[in-house]
Amino acid sequence: MLSVARFTFNPFQENTYVIHDGREAIVVDPGCWNTGEERELEGFLSDNGLTPIRLVLTHAHIDHILGCAWMHKRYGLSPELHREDLRILHGGERTAGMYGIPYDPAPEPKGFLSAGDTVRIGTDELKVLFVPGHAPGHIALYHAPGKFVVSGDVLFQNSVGRVDLPGGDMDTLLKSIREQLFTLGDEVTVHSGHGPDTTIGREKRSNPFLK
């Protein structure tokens, strides 16, 4: 069975996730942006005997990619993401400059992920869901046996992702949530890109954007 560990990094308080089976790990949205945060992530992997095998981005907004260059230098991993977010990834240096934060540009992607693809960890599989709206190439990772989804910035506790950034669209976002996430089952845990975990059932009942 897969386990999920969360780390909250950088000034945007972004959630980075390590999904692992006790041996191999996938790092999702590495937001570590200074030496202390890099050491925290590295220490967790080392202390638990985990070998990171893939680096996956739910989307390429700056707060989710700050650690990509370090992951490449330290573990030899390059990001995998949806092709529609490649332009955003390439614009990372300009975006970081707008916010006045240091940024070592991410390496070029190892490959691209699309709806219906699977990401394997040992004998387990994560299903790739295409959930645009917050970003044009946004994806989520769903593990049916573990009843969890890593949703990035699509769905939060009592909120949804912002749509005022390039490529954002509220109608598209709400459609993604209703058709791709709300169909997973009320008991499914949502590991969001910011803030605490929630469940599909809770957001169906109480999310003001989706009532």
Mean pLDDT of 67-82: 98
CATH 3.60.15.10 holds for 3-206: yes
What strands, in cross-sheet order, belong to the sheet with 198-199? 118-121, 124-130, 139-143, 148-152, 189-192, 198-199
pLDDT of residue 149 exceeding 90, the answer is: yes
pLDDT of residue 32 exceeding 90, the answer is: yes
Q: Report the SS3 class of residue 75.
A: helix
| Contact by Cβ (8 Å): 49, 30 | no
The tens digit of pLDDT for each residue in 33-57 reads 999 999 999 999 999 999 999 999 9
Mean pLDDT of 86-106: 96
* Calpha distance 157→166 (Å, rounded): 23
134-160 burial, b if ≥16 CB within 10 A, otherwise e?
Answer: bbbbbbbbbbeebebbbbbbbbbbebb
